[in-house]
């Protein structure tokens, strides 16, 4: 009996030690692994634009010497490169795989070229009636859309031979955004203002009018169930406003910035649990009005939670964190900041030089950064 009791006692003690060790190890490993983990860095030519495919399989780049190149993400090596004399913007998709080269608001360059992301072959091209104001590609690689100032919207189904359909908008196209599941395309219109939702086959689903002569920018939540409308004036006569709707067009809340604010951008978390706003705010310093970059977080009810930024911490919004509990910002020099949704700084990451371009994968776990010293770095975020 004594032997059995001793065995039981030591077995229980050993089990307790193992459990505590595992808990400590798990806690340590979570805290010990940095949020920003560089996977590779390569020297590249000066770039005009870059893009990473939604599933982080390939990278597309436009160089200053007018070449378009595609790299494999895992190997960080080129797949193909070819001369391309037109366009200053690029996007890349997965699935069938296309690279789109285009320009925005340029009456001399109204074409979008469709290259195969695997071979570099030119598959087709689209010539818009008027200057293109925005393009969008679905994260699933199924659709591509381009809208111009005349109100012409071209939606392509991305098969091996892309299929095009034309939609006439109620005003000039301003901004485009696909839902994460490709179930709808959010379109902001300029002349008559507001945001409309279209199905991928071009059917109008929801029309949400806005104030006349105001620009709108649609931002879609990571689950696709909410659409945020940023409305602002070109000449900043009225204060910017932010409105949240669900995908059925029902208004949930609105929030107005101060009259001195301008040029807003936003990201909205899954479930609309919080919204991050980036904007410029005019502040009087030494008797001079100075624009300062600010970040603010709005909660799920449309209430301001906190605001950060200013003269000594001038931040730009980059991306939501992959865990949906915070966001990443850039200080305009050589540092990334990771914040939680309450404004607490969780981690920083130092870059080799200021950022020139960046791109983010659909799951927000791969961050591609091109710095002014012409280094291209791929960062894993957890």
CA distances in angstroms from 342 to 269, 292, 295, listed in the order given: 13, 21, 12
Output the average pLDDT for the chain. Answer: 88
pLDDT value for 261: 65
Contacts of 263 (CB under 8 A, 6+ apart): 232, 279, 280
**The pTM of the whole model exceeds 0.85:** yes
According to the model, what pLDDT value does residue 33 have? 78
Q: What is the pLDDT of residues 283-292, one digit of tens each?
A: 777 888 887 8
% of the chain surpassing 90 pLDDT: 65
From the list 130, 117, 131, 119, the residue with the least C-alpha distance to 52 is 117
Do 300 and 317 contact (CB within 8 A), yes or no? no
pLDDT at 21: 47
Residue 213 has pLDDT above 60, yes or no: no
The pLDDT confidence band at residue 171, using thresholds 50, 70 and 90, is confident
Instruction: Summarize the confidence of residues 85-98 as an average pLDDT.
Output: 94
Confidence of residue 346 (pLDDT cuts 50, 70, 90): very high
Position 256 confidence tier, pLDDT thresholds 50, 70, 90: confident
What is the percent of the chain with per-residue pLDDT over 70, rounded to a whole number? 87
Cα(356)–Cα(62) distance, rounded to whole angstroms? 13
What's the average model confidence in pLDDT over 141-167? Answer: 97
Higher-pLDDT residue of 29, 125: 125
Question: 273-327: per-residue pLDDT in tens?
Answer: 999 998 888 777 788 888 788 889 999 999 999 988 876 677 888 899 988 899 9
Which position has the higher pLDDT, 77 or 31? 77
User: Which of 187-191, 211-215, 373-377 shows the highest mean pLDDT?
Assistant: 373-377
Give the pLDDT confidence score for residue 137 in this predicted structure: 98
Mean predicted confidence (pLDDT) in 353-365: 95
The answer to whether 162 touches 123, Cβ cutoff 8 Å, is yes
Report the pLDDT averaged over residues 196-214: 83
Query: What's residue 20's pLDDT?
Result: 46
Q: Pick the residue with more confidence: 163 or 11?
A: 163
Q: Pick the residue with more confidence: 256 or 2? A: 256
pLDDT of 29 higher than 70: no
User: Between 112 and 14, where is the model more confident?
Assistant: 112
Higher pLDDT, 195 or 57: 57
Query: Which whole number is the average pLDDT over 14-28?
Result: 49
> Per mean pLDDT, which range of 18-22, 151-155, 360-364 is the poorest?
18-22
């Amino acid at each position: 009996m004594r032997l059995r009791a001793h065995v039981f006692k030591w077995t229980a003690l050993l089990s307790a030690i193992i459990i505590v060790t595992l808990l400590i190890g798990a806690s340590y490993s979570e805290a010990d692994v940095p949020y920003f983990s560089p996977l590779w860095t390569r020297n590249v030519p000066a770039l005009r634009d870059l893009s990473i495919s939604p599933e982080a399989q390939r990278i597309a780049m436009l160089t200053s010497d007018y070449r378009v190149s595609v790299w494999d993400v895992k190997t960080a090596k080129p797949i193909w490169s070819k001369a391309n004399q037109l366009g200053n913007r690029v996007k890349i998709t997965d699935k069938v795989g296309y690279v789109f080269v285009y320009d925005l608001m340029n009456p001399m360059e109204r074409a979008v070229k469709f290259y195969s992301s695997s071979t570099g072959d030119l598959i087709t091209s689209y010539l818009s009636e008027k200057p293109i104001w925005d393009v969008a590609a679905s994260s699933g690689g199924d659709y591509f859309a381009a809208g111009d100032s005349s109100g012409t919207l071209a939606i392509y189904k991305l098969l091996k031979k892309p299929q095009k359909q034309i939609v006439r908008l109620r005003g000039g196209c301003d901004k485009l955004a696909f839902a994460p599941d490709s179930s709808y395309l959010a379109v902001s219109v300029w002349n008559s203002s507001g945001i409309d939702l279209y199905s991928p086959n071009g059917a109008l689903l929801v029309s949400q009018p806005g104030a006349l002569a105001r620009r709108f920018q649609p931002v879609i939540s990571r689950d696709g169930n909410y659409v945020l409308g940023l409305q602002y004036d070109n000449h900043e006569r009225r204060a910017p406003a932010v409105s949240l709707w669900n995908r059925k067009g029902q208004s949930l809340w609105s929030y107005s910035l101060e009259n001195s604010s301008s040029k807003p951008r936003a990201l909205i978390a899954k479930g609309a649990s919080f919204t991050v706003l980036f904007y410029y705010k005019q502040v009087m310093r030494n008797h001079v009005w100075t624009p300062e970059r600010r970040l603010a977080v709005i909660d799920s009810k449309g209430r301001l939670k906190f605001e950060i930024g200013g003269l000594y911490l001038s931040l730009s919004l980059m991306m939501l964190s992959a865990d949906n509990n915070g966001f990443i910002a850039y200080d305009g020099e050589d540092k990334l900041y990771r914040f939680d949704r309450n404004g607490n700084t969780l981690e920083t990451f130092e870059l080799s030089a200021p950022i020139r371009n960046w791109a983010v994968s659909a799951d927000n776990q791969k961050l591609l950064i091109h710095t002014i010293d012409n280094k291209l770095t791929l960062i894993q975020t957890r």
